[in-house]
Amino acid sequence: MSAILIIEQILNGLQLGVMLFLMAAGLTLIFGVMGLINLAHGSLYMVGAFAAAAVAGATGSFLLAMVAAMAAAAIAGVLIEVVVIRRLYAKDHLDQVLATFALILIFSEGVRWVFGSFPLFLDIPDYLSGPVSLPGGIQYPLYRLVLIGIGMVVGLLLWLLTQQTRLGIQIRAGENDREMIAALGVNISNLYTLVFAIGAALAGLAGALVGAIQSVQVGMGEPVLILAFVVIVIGGIGSIQGAFIGALIVGLTDTLGGVFLPQLFRLFLEPAGATSTGSALASMAIYILMGAILIWRPTGLFGQRA
Amino acid sequence: MAEAVLSAHGLCKSFGAVQATHDVSIDVRPGEIHAVIGPNGAGKSTLIAQLCGSMASDAGRVELLGRDVTHDTVRRRAQAGLARTFQISALAMEDTVLQNAMLGALGAAGRPWRFLRPALGDQDLRDRAEAALERVGLQDVRAARVAALSHGQRRQLEVALALTLSPKAFIMDEPMAGLGGEGSKLLTDLLSALRADAPILLVEHDMDAVFTLADRISVLVYGQIIETGTVDQIRRSPAVRDAYLGEGA
Amino acid sequence: MTKVTQTLLAAACAAMVATAGLAEVKVGMITTLSGGGAGLGIDVRDGFMLAVEQSGRDDIEVVIEDDQRKPDIAVQLADKMVQSEKVDVLTGIIFSNLAMAVIPSVTAQGKFYLSPNAGPSALAGKGCHPNYFNVAWQNDNLHEAAGAYANTAGYGNSFILAPNYPAGQDALTGYKRTYQGELAGEIYTQLGQTDYAAEIAQIRASGADSVFFFLPGGMGISFLKQYADSAVGLPVVGPAFSFDQGILQAVGDAALGVVNTSQWNKDIDNPTNAAFVEAFQAKYDRLPSLYASQGFDTARLLISAMEKADVADVDAFRAALKAAEFDSTRGDFAFGLNQHPIQTIYAREVVKEGDVFTNKIIGVALENHADAYAAECKM
Amino acid sequence: MIPERWLNLGILAALVAVPIWALVVDEPFIITLVTRAVIFALAAVGLNIALGLGGLVSLGHAVFFGIGGYAMGILAYHAQTFTPLAEWPFPIDGTKSMPVIWLVAVTTSTLAALLIGLLSLRTSGVYFIMITLAFGQMFYYFSISWAQYGGEDGLSIYVRNGFPGLNTLDPIQFFAICFALLCAVLGFNALLARSPFGLALNAARQVPHRVETMGLSPFRLKLVAFVISGAVTGLAGALFADLNRFVSPTMFSWQMSGEIIIFVILGGVARLIGPVIGAAAFVLLEHWLGGLSDYWHIYLGAILLGVVLFARGGIVGLVARAHG
């Protein structure tokens, strides 16, 4: 296996990782501030992708499509926050799981009702398509490099937001002591809606960005949702930096495992058996990793100790 | 001097730069109530956690009936006869008073692994639980849910739960917290009688109760015991006056 | 809008026949109408109902149920069809795993099953049954055709990939059965996988001269878009499933020029097909897909048997089905010994007609092809 | 509001009456439908032991459901193909006998629950939910790749397994078996809740630190609850596979875990009959709404939302007085 291929696969792992981060950041923020498990986060991802496909189809502009994706997901997010989610903060995790599971059903069938059962078209804009040459003779799709860049920038912005701004201070205070900041005159209800909208917009952006290289279809959010949960659990729920590290770990494990495990098994199994055993193990790899990390550190890598 | 039932030798615990307890040695002898007092943040909660086993010590040793229990878990120490009450009531709110009391009896019997016979049908456990309830004066509300009890009754139930273990020593974490004069009086009488069952290490803010009940008092300040003695000795101690009143030494 | 009318029509059809009390053949259709994969089931249903409507017969009652692509629901619906609705014939299942769950049990209970899509190998070989007829293909067929096409196109070093599940494993086996060149690589991907960057990098590094893939549904869309963007540029061959009318629009330009194998295309030149394509477009306002043609043919087969025999006379009805004397959208149609089609499979290419992506036939991949399992069938 | 005991008896009576009525009017499919509800109920009763008594929100109970299903599938597959299950250390044949299959299903799911519980119970709260989900995904992907037993296609068993003295292919007789098992497990559950173990477990859920100072181990109490819970759900899995005469990886999917949780919450957490009502209501909804519209999931979602937001304590909480 050549060095070029390995580097390319690492880039692929990074790209998957930063996309997962966009999802995971919202999830972990919402959990950290409001203590809410939101299974419907994957639906916001789907809403973003569909909105992007619809707007791109109508206007032909990729940038407009991205804006529309974030706006649509944020609006959908605010809507469910105000109508449903708000009533769940005081309830236990069990009720949250059930209610947001119900939201998944409503969103999935609702989108199918509006857009039909067939996948939608959303493509990379011309100015971002095709591969570029990297040092060392690596041909790598420009769009994926852009995705890595966007993920990094969003990560940086989120870090600045939570560490350097007034809003960030309120958010962090909200994580620790919601009665106190309410007493200090911060409108906690508006703060929650805002945080939810930010998380939703990030999910919508991820859905739209990924939708351009994958298929925009009903149910596209659930596999990503599960991966994003794996990410935040590994990173420690509520921690943005944990989500970032966790996302990269999951992205790299999933990508590299899928490539190298079958080859590893080929050393001591016949090829067909090696391929299927290796692939089987590769698809379980991140869950095994997550189990192992939780057994080692029961609140994740950056989670607060109980 | 009688052999100590519970004793600690040189306990230390620090959190980062903060030394919560430093070289604390304390003992509880048969038949006595030994009170630990001290200002907020003096390390009383840490000391209790170290004695009960819910927090590991950095250094030092804990002995129960002469046996080293330093590395035993909370559960082991409880089985060996160390009973405690909590500052904030730790009771199963959805269950009845009797069911809560049964829990202690169950723990004392050490056998929760019976799946098919009703717990309340086990006469042995039940007698034990009801005896404890009677002792604290809750026998008339045994069928009530804990959630329906008054604060004072919950404090009494805390003590009853500790009693069901038939312990060798009690550790009581502010049993009077939040009680009014009447309730305080009731509990003071109860504790006073309890010392005949087993000695009590009493951490308490209510100084009336402490001075009424305690046979000995230790004063914990900044993680260190600055004085141990009888009520009179403590009242007269310059070190204590200094710590509390800031009078120059 | 069209959806509503279809549903209404199906309901009206059923209601009308039921009230008339003339129902002689009751058909239970279990197919996927909700969730992912619903597009396939909807096409099969629409194709089937079109043929029923065109026949003008009022002695067919069709009960349609949604299996949600869940095997346990499909089994439950099959029980309902057999026990409660007391249907004579079952049909409609899209996915092989659902077919395996339903078909052996309903045929064992003496019902006929006409498969409009799935053709798992277990039911073509040792598990064949006199009451089971496959009107579409045995699962391996299109992959075998892809292998044959690769030979004629002169490919000698293929990179092949499919999801790691039985149909995926069958696909690669099928391709290798006819393909004569070398393999540059063989990969099993994860079922439901959406990112193929890692695989594409391996393809690029492998030195292959062609790529064969079987990635149904959304997986194929993702792969093709990413493959096109990577500019690897090797020719791609695949079975029709990733290039049917329903999903081509979502793939877009990325699919242009890709060769895929199919037993049907809208430009197969025979009057039945031309009429079918026109009628389907007129009624549903979209181009028919492979699946729609299969649904249509299934209904035509059923109607042809009804013309010759009474469904109550099981042996006669079976013989009438087996004779398969109907005008298929594929031209000639005949069953092999195991009651799977012997048919010609075409190579077709994705083209753009106006704004619409579709396929056109560029040649024959396999002529009068029978499946590899027929010999194992003892019937 | 009616006393809970009456509700319990009423529900069980209805579960018997409906199939008998269906038998009289010759609607065998209704019997099948009720059997499905009964089996789901059994799975949910299993979860309720961990969830209701022990407070363990397991989003991975499909693992045990699936293990039970595959225990049936694998044993029956070997019996139906006349191939030995194992050659070593001594030949083991498959079987088509329900009692043997149940025993294997319960044993294997017990072992799995022990292992998963030992590892998962180190965590709590959301982490527990997520680690159980992770175990579910591991089993799901493993079963998809397990080509020997059909992978994603699953395994078809052509004839339902046998039970001595009964014709299991007759819907009403198979129903009777499932119903008897459900009643037995419900009885066990009722005893368990009142037993010393139930008392201690109940306290361990509410005040674990108190239980610890009473000389009891919350970890062990919860572990045992989790294991019992897994075993019951495993038994339900074996029955479900026999109902469908089919097993596939979907039995391991996280949606399945989610559905089992739904049964419990819909009916009422920690209420004896809650999971039974929840499962029955779910099967009814699925059947009725499914006929109403292609988009019936929307209605289902709305109903679930309504239960969470407005019906604390589920359906039982709405209609019955608190237990005791």
Look up residue C280 and give its two tokens. Answer: 């389907």
pLDDT the model gives residue C16: 44
Residues of C in contact with D152 (CB under 8 A): 97, 165-167, 191
Residue C126 lies inside a defined structural domain of this protein? no
Percent of chain A with pLDDT over 90: 43
Q: Lowest-confidence range among B24-28, B42-46, D72-76?
A: B42-46
For C349-354, the CB contacts below 8 A with 24+ separation are C349/C257, C349/C258, C349/C259, C349/C260, C350/C243, C350/C248, C350/C255, C350/C256, C350/C257, C350/C258, C350/C260, C351/C256, C352/C256
* Same domain, residue pair C79 and C213: no
Cβ pairs B/D, distance under 8 A? 104
**Cβ pair C79:D30 closer than 8 A:** no
B78 touches chain D (CB under 8 A): yes
Residue C336 lies inside a defined structural domain of this protein? no
**Cβ pair A87:D304 closer than 8 A:** no
* Mean predicted confidence (pLDDT) in D197-212: 93
Measured CA to CA, the distance from residue C361 to residue C260 in angstroms comes to 9
* Same domain, residue pair C146 and C215: yes
Q: Which residue of chain D has the CA closest to B84?
A: D213
* Mean predicted confidence (pLDDT) in A202-222: 91
The answer to whether residues C197 and A255 touch, using CB atoms and an 8 Å cutoff, is yes
Residue D164 binned pLDDT confidence (cut-offs 50, 70, 90): very high
Q: What is the ipTM metric for this complex?
A: 0.84
Give the CATH number of the domain where residue C183 resides. 3.40.50.2300
For chain B, the structural domain boundaries read 1-81+167-249, 93-166
Residue B182 binned pLDDT confidence (cut-offs 50, 70, 90): confident
Specify the pTM: 0.87
* Mean predicted confidence (pLDDT) in A63-73: 96
**Other CB atoms closer than 10 Å to residue A183's CB: what's the count?**
10
Residue C339 lies inside a defined structural domain of this protein? no
* Same domain, residue pair C197 and C164: yes
Nearest-CA distance A163 → chain D (Å)? 25
pLDDT the model gives residue D324: 41
pLDDT the model gives residue D313: 81
Look up residue B65 and give its two tokens. Answer: 């009936």
Residues of D in contact with C71 (CB under 8 A): 154, 244, 246, 248, 250
* Same domain, residue pair C222 and C359: yes
Alpha helix ranges (H) inside B80-122: 97-109
Residue D324 lies inside a defined structural domain of this protein? no
Touch A-D: 3+ C-beta pairs under 8 A: yes
Chain C interface disruption, residue of A4, A132, A138, A217, most C CBs within 10 A = A217
pLDDT surpasses 90 at D183: yes
pLDDT the model gives residue D113: 97
Higher pLDDT, D295 or D298: D298
The whole-chain average pLDDT of chain C stands at 88
The whole-chain average pLDDT of chain B stands at 89
* Same domain, residue pair C234 and C356: yes
pLDDT the model gives residue C355: 87
pLDDT the model gives residue B191: 92
**Cβ pair A102:D269 closer than 8 A:** no
**Angle formed by the axes of helices A221-235 and A188-211, nearest 10°:** 120
* Mean predicted confidence (pLDDT) in C299-309: 94
Residue B34 binned pLDDT confidence (cut-offs 50, 70, 90): very high
Q: Which CATH architecture has domain B1-81+167-249?
A: 3-Layer(aba) Sandwich (3.40)
* Mean predicted confidence (pLDDT) in A264-270: 81
pLDDT in tens, D121-163: 988 888 899 899 989 999 999 998 887 888 888 888 878 899 9
pLDDT the model gives residue D19: 93
Residues of B in contact with D192 (CB under 8 A): 115-116
C169 touches chain D (CB under 8 A): yes
pLDDT surpasses 80 at C298: yes
* Mean predicted confidence (pLDDT) in B148-177: 92
Q: Are strands C182-189 and C157-163 parallel, antiparallel or unpaired?
A: parallel
pLDDT the model gives residue B2: 61
Touch A-B: 3+ C-beta pairs under 8 A: no
pLDDT surpasses 80 at A117: no
pLDDT the model gives residue A76: 96
**Residue C312 backbone phi and psi in degrees, to 5:** -70, -30
C230 touches chain D (CB under 8 A): no
Residue C7 binned pLDDT confidence (cut-offs 50, 70, 90): very low
Most confident range, picked from A154-163, C88-97, D230-239, D271-280 = D230-239
Higher pLDDT, D253 or C8: D253
pLDDT surpasses 50 at C160: yes
pLDDT the model gives residue C183: 94
The answer to whether residues A162 and A33 touch, using CB atoms and an 8 Å cutoff, is no
Residue C15 binned pLDDT confidence (cut-offs 50, 70, 90): very low
Q: Lowest-confidence range among A12-21, A135-144, C110-119, C270-279?
A: A135-144
Residue C134 lies inside a defined structural domain of this protein? no
Residue B41 binned pLDDT confidence (cut-offs 50, 70, 90): confident
Residue C12 binned pLDDT confidence (cut-offs 50, 70, 90): very low
pLDDT surpasses 70 at C344: yes
Give the CATH number of the domain where residue D100 resides. 1.10.3470
Alpha helix ranges (H) inside chain D: 4-24, 28-48, 62-81, 98-120, 125-145, 171-194, 196-206, 208-213, 218-244, 254-267, 274-292, 296-310, 314-319
pLDDT the model gives residue C4: 39
Measured CA to CA, the distance from residue C272 to residue D8 in angstroms comes to 62
* Mean predicted confidence (pLDDT) in C19-32: 75
Residue D26 binned pLDDT confidence (cut-offs 50, 70, 90): confident
Measured CA to CA, the distance from residue C348 to residue D93 in angstroms comes to 50
Choose among D188, D195, D200: nearest Cβ to B118: D195
Q: In sequence order, which residues have a C-beta less than 8 Å from that of residue C252 and are 6 or more positions away?
A: A121, A123, C225, C357
Percent of chain B with pLDDT over 90: 59
The whole-chain average pLDDT of chain D stands at 91
Nearest-CA distance D275 → chain C (Å)? 20
* Mean predicted confidence (pLDDT) in C323-349: 93
**Cβ pair D215:B79 closer than 8 A:** yes
pLDDT the model gives residue B48: 93
**Cβ pair C75:D150 closer than 8 A:** no
Domain interval for residue C13: 2-118+269-329
Residue C13 binned pLDDT confidence (cut-offs 50, 70, 90): very low
pLDDT surpasses 70 at D78: yes
Residue D105 lies inside a defined structural domain of this protein? yes
The answer to whether residues C222 and C195 touch, using CB atoms and an 8 Å cutoff, is yes
**Cβ pair D27:C75 closer than 8 A:** no
Domain interval for residue D65: 4-319
pLDDT in tens, C182-226: 999 998 888 888 889 889 999 998 999 999 999 987 888 889 989
Number of domains composing chain C: 2
pLDDT the model gives residue C36: 66
pLDDT the model gives residue C132: 96
The answer to whether residues A48 and A202 touch, using CB atoms and an 8 Å cutoff, is no
pLDDT surpasses 70 at B224: yes
Q: In sequence order, which residues have a C-beta less than 8 Å from that of residue D109 and are 6 or more positions away?
A: D63, D64, D67, D68, D71, D230, D231, D233, D234, D235, D237
Higher pLDDT, C191 or A100: A100
Quote the DSSP letter at residue B60. Answer: E
Residue B109 binned pLDDT confidence (cut-offs 50, 70, 90): confident
Chain C interface disruption, residue of A213, A222, A255, A266, most C CBs within 10 A = A213
Measured CA to CA, the distance from residue A200 to residue A45 in angstroms comes to 8
pLDDT the model gives residue D322: 54
Choose among A98, A103, A303: nearest Cβ to D261: A98
Residue C44 lies inside a defined structural domain of this protein? yes
CA dihedral B108, B113, B118, B122 (to 10 degrees): -40
Q: In sequence order, which residues have a C-beta less than 8 Å from that of residue B40 and are 6 or more positions away?
A: none
* Same domain, residue pair C186 and C322: no
**Residue showing tokens 């339900």:** D236
**Residue C352 backbone phi and psi in degrees, to 5:** -115, 125
Chain C: touching chains (3 or more CB pairs < 8 Å) = A, D
Residue A200 binned pLDDT confidence (cut-offs 50, 70, 90): very high
Residue C2 binned pLDDT confidence (cut-offs 50, 70, 90): very low
pLDDT the model gives residue B85: 92
pLDDT surpasses 70 at A305: no
Q: D89 preceded by cis ω (within 30°)?
A: yes
Q: Which residue of chain D has the CA closest to C188?
A: D145
**Cβ pair C231:A213 closer than 8 A:** no
